């Protein structure tokens, strides 16, 4: 099979497009013929920054999100059979940037017929991370006020939709060019970070979702009500500031959750959620896709088509 392979950490240029043996599923695993693999910021960070520290063994085929068709199943797998259309985000990094991938059966779910393979590859990380952040860890309830930073990104825009579906009042930050799109997704108030200071617009907020970090995270403490919550996807929040402002703050990581993904896919099929695919690259152009991701300001997911 053709695959993108990383043999040395530190640089996207270290990726190679080469022929590899098709992996075989072990007990509890499924072999998928990959239809689309998503390109995520996490993939780039593993390649360039912390892959070695994360204990990832080289060589590795990158990738952490995909859709495809079941080719074969390992021993003990029930609920899936060859020909099933499936998607998911593997709980361990790697394997998706290829024509075939082996994943744990517990990490994937069947794709509803109305959902395209493109959308199915684009939604797992965004939906699972956003729902974990604002619903599970953030405890967002109907009638509460939530501030979502980076609302034009895939996780931020998904969080806007999930928050609105939960009955919250949604404030969202982004650049002005994305205002109409974010409002259409459900934001009650859009804050253009290029021309506005969100601290002058937001106050008494129950929950902040931080997808930016740095000064944005620091300034977010001031807009929370006492007892409010700050959930970061980027960096651990300051414990000192949390105590000072009498709020709860933590950093969380995403991960597979089959039950939650099934619900998100059904919401996608029903039109409750939307996901945007900005561009599809052929597998051999994975470096180009990762560089586009690195340059930032994406308006949707980037996918690879093996």
pLDDT in the model for residue 198: 97
Query: With 80 as the cut, is the pLDDT of residue 20 above it?
Result: yes
Query: With 90 as the cut, is the pLDDT of residue 40 above it?
Result: yes
Comparing CA positions, the residue from 99, 100, 154, 147 lying closest to residue 124 is 154
Average pLDDT over residues 60-89: 97
Q: Report which DSSP code applies to 98.
A: B
Calpha distance 136→129 (Å, rounded): 10
Please provide the size of the chain in residues. Answer: 306
Residue 36, helix vs strand vs coil? strand
pLDDT in the model for residue 108: 97
Residue 54 binned pLDDT confidence (cut-offs 50, 70, 90):
confident
Average pLDDT over residues 210-214: 95
- Cβ atoms 47, 120 nearer than 8 A: no
- Cβ atoms 173, 233 nearer than 8 A: no
Residue found under tokens 């992996």: 23
pLDDT cut 70: percent of the chain above it = 100
pLDDT in the model for residue 230: 98
pLDDT in the model for residue 294: 87
Residue 250, beta-bridge partner list:
231
- Cβ atoms 164, 185 nearer than 8 A: yes
Calpha distance 38→122 (Å, rounded): 6
Query: With 80 as the cut, is the pLDDT of residue 74 above it?
Result: yes
pLDDT in the model for residue 300: 84
Chain centroid offset of residue 176 CA:
23
Calpha distance 210→196 (Å, rounded): 17
Domain coordinates of the chain in residue numbers?
2-123+275-305, 126-251
- Please state the three-class secondary structure of 225-259 as a single string: EEEEEEEECCCCCCHHHHHHCCCEEEECCCCCCHH
CB atoms within 10 A of CB 284: 12
pLDDT in the model for residue 143: 98
Average pLDDT over residues 94-114: 97
pLDDT in the model for residue 172: 98
Calpha distance 65→59 (Å, rounded): 19
Residue found under tokens 């414990």: 239
The CA-atom distances, in angstroms, between 285 and each of 4, 107, 181, 278, 302 are 9, 27, 28, 15, 11
Q: pLDDT for 172-197, tens place per residue?
A: 999 999 999 999 999 999 999 999 99
Q: Which CATH number, 3.40.50.1010, 3.40.50.300, 3.90.180.10, 3.30.300.30, labels domain 2-123+275-305?
A: 3.90.180.10
Query: With 80 as the cut, is the pLDDT of residue 34 above it?
Result: yes
Query: With 80 as the cut, is the pLDDT of residue 296 above it?
Result: no
pLDDT in the model for residue 299: 75
CA atoms within 13 A of residue 9's CA, in its CB half-sphere: 15
Can you spell out the DSSP letters for 258-293? HHHHHHHHHHHHTTSS---EEEEEEGGGHHHHHHHH
CATH 3.40.50.720 fits 126-251, yes or no: yes
Comparing CA positions, the residue from 164, 163, 153, 137 lying closest to residue 237 is 137
Query: With 90 as the cut, is the pLDDT of residue 306 above it?
Result: yes
The CA-atom distances, in angstroms, between 178 and each of 97, 191, 266, 276 are 30, 10, 26, 13
pLDDT cut 90: percent of the chain above it = 91
pLDDT in the model for residue 53: 84
Give Cβ neighbours of residue 215 (< 8 Å, ≥ 6 apart): none
Query: With 80 as the cut, is the pLDDT of residue 16 above it?
Result: yes
Query: With 80 as the cut, is the pLDDT of residue 298 above it?
Result: no
Mean pLDDT of the residues in the chain:
95
Query: With 80 as the cut, is the pLDDT of residue 273 above it?
Result: yes
- pTM of the shown model: 0.92
Calpha distance 275→112 (Å, rounded): 15
- Cβ atoms 12, 90 nearer than 8 A: no
Residue 123 binned pLDDT confidence (cut-offs 50, 70, 90):
very high
- Cβ atoms 232, 210 nearer than 8 A: yes
pLDDT in the model for residue 245: 97
């Amino acid at each position: 099979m053709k695959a993108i392979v990383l043999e040395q950490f530190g640089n996207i240029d270290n990726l190679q497009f080469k022929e590899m043996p098709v992996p075989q599923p072990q007990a509890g695993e499924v072999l998928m013929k990959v239809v689309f693999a998503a390109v995520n910021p996490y993939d780039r960070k593993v390649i360039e920054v912390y892959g070695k520290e994360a204990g990832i063994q080289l060589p590795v085929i990158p990738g952490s999100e995909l859709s495809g068709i079941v080719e074969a199943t390992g021993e003990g797998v029930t609920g899936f059979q060859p020909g099933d259309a499936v998607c998911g985000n593997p709980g361990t990094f790697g394997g998706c940037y290829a024509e075939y991938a082996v994943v744990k059966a517990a990490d994937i779910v069947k794709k509803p017929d109305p959902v395209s393979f493109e959308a199915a590859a684009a939604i797992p990380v965004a939906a699972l991370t956003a729902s974990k952040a604002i619903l599970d860890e953030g405890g967002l309830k109907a009638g509460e006020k939530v501030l979502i930073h980076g609302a034009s990104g895939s996780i931020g825009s998904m969080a806007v939709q999930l928050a609105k579906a939960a009955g919250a009042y949604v404030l969202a930050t982004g650049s002005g060019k994305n205002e109409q799109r974010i409002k259409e997704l459900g934001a009650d108030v859009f804050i253009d970070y290029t021309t506005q200071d969100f601290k002058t617009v937001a106050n008494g907020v129950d929950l902040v979702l931080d997808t930016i970090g740095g000064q944005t995270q620091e300034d977010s403490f001031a807009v929370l009500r006492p007892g409010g919550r700050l959930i970061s996807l980027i960096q651990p929040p300051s414990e000192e500031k949390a105590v000072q402002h009498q709020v709860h703050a933590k950093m969380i990581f995403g991960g597979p959750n089959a039950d939650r993904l099934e619900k998100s896919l059904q919401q996608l099929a029903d039109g409750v959620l939307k996901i945007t695919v900005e561009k599809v690259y052929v597998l051999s152009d994975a470096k180009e896709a990762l560089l586009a991701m690195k340059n930032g300001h994406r308006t949707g997911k980037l996918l690879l088509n093996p």
